[in-house]
Amino acid sequence: MAVAGPSSYDVVVIGGGVTGAGVARDLALRGLSVLLLDKGDWGAGTSGASSWMIHGGPRYLEYDWDTTRLSCQDAGHIVTIARNLVYRVVFIIPVLPHDKNNIERMETAMEVYDRFQPLKHAHAHRRLTAAEARRAEPGLAPDIVGAVTMEEWGVDPHRLVFANVDDAVAHGAHAMNHTRVIGLIRDGGKVLGVRYRASDGETSEARARAVVNAAGPWSPQVGQMAGVEIDLRPAKGIHIVYPHRISNFSVSAESIDGRDLLMVAHGGFTLVGTTDDDFYGDLDSVDVMEDEVDYLLQGIERVFPAIRDYRPVRTTTGVRPTLFKWRRYEDELSRRYEVIDHGADGADGLVSIVGGKLSMYRLMAEETADAV
Ligand SMILES: Cc1cc2nc3c(=O)[nH]c(=O)nc-3n(C[C@H](O)[C@H](O)[C@H](O)COP(=O)(O)OP(=O)(O)OC[C@H]3O[C@@H](n4cnc5c(N)ncnc54)[C@H](O)[C@@H]3O)c2cc1C
């Protein structure tokens, strides 16, 4: 998509993942003139490599319940405005004899999560006996002692991102993908616009009263263009993709290091994920390692023994734009977000939106547009 426009805007948004697309839409709906740029395809960064879920994140309840609440609240708005794009994803969470959580603990956790479920129009959990769980999902391991159910929403993030881009354009925004921002136009402490290279190799400039950095894990690179530092703790995650459904329901499992893994039944295909590892490499060349695949299969195999009989077709990988925090184990890093006005750092006119989740992109977009 390349829609040429004027060279002066109210706002230029850098990054056409779910965050930037949401910001562009919000600003366009407010009547501002907007240019949205992405160096690749819409949603082809972290957004497309996600687990495709609009969820509340019950595991954050232990150490960051406010994120669970915000996520559930915004998920409620997203499933209302994009009802045509979302579908229910029902999990069976089986419990094995030596799991970290026994069935009572697991049910208690779900009882707490049930308080948040109505915010996102989802149903409360059910407790299942081992026989009931295996009747619903015959592939489950014979030694499970019971299970609980949990309901989330699924979404195709590429379609969700594109729907936001499309609506932004319908409200007057210009949007160009395969167009990389290569520099910021600056005058002393003021950011005046962007320099970009379009897919045909041509370099142009767009002036703006404000520039939004919504470049996900690349946002520190965009920050550097204005001489400001953005502290992230990027964390890589992979999925294994099966071109069909393997199970009636989505299934959760415990990994060897006690993390929650998911086998998500998304309509006609299945995603098995995910890992969460500190990432130090090149964001434009993220490889999937064989041991990452083995790690996932090992965890899923415990609860769903036949998993290795199925033929995956590919893997996906993405890097979470997680906010920096020293010492914490990757999986326990907060999924909070931050809207940063860089006026105080000597880059007036630049606003960054970092961190967060797909499940609260709408709220992140609204707060970023407020800041702009
Ligand atoms: C494995 C994994 C699973 C996840 N699962 C979920 C989930 O199920 N539910 C959930 O809520 N969250 C999930 N998340 C988190 C969620 O995916 C991210 O928080 C969210 O997608 C980030 O979106 P974003 O738009 O900020 O970043 P991105 O989607 O990465 O978008 C940033 C965009 O900026 C563009 N860009 C970068 N530099 C430039 C430049 N110089 N010029 C132009 N464009 C540029 C990139 O091309 C990219 O498209 C998951 C994350 C991972 C890694």
Tell the burial category of 202 from Cβ atoms under 10 Å away from its Cβ (0-12, 13-18, 19+): exposed
Residue 79 identity (one-letter amino acid): V
Tell the burial category of 333 from Cβ atoms under 10 Å away from its Cβ (0-12, 13-18, 19+): buried
Q: What's the confidence (pLDDT) of residue 181? A: 98
248 CA to middle of ligand 1, Å?
29
pLDDT digits (tens, 9 = 90+) for 45-92: 999 999 999 998 777 787 778 889 999 999 999 999 999 999 999 999
- Radius of gyration from C-alpha coordinates of the chain: 21
144 CA to middle of ligand 1, Å?
36
Collect the ranges in the chain with pLDDT lower than 50: 2-4
CA-based nearest residue to 221, from 178, 283, 279, 287: 283
Q: What's the confidence (pLDDT) of residue 1? A: 52
Question: Is the minimum distance from the CB of 37 to ligand 1 under 6 angstroms?
Answer: yes
Question: Is the minimum distance from the CB of 46 to ligand 1 under 6 angstroms?
Answer: yes
Question: Is the minimum distance from the CB of 57 to ligand 1 under 6 angstroms?
Answer: no
Return d(Cα 13, Cα 45) in angstroms, integer: 15
169 CA to middle of ligand 1, Å?
21
pLDDT digits (tens, 9 = 90+) for 84-96: 999 999 999 999 9
319 CA to middle of ligand 1, Å?
7
Q: What's the confidence (pLDDT) of residue 5? A: 59
Question: Is the minimum distance from the CB of 220 to ligand 1 under 6 angstroms?
Answer: no
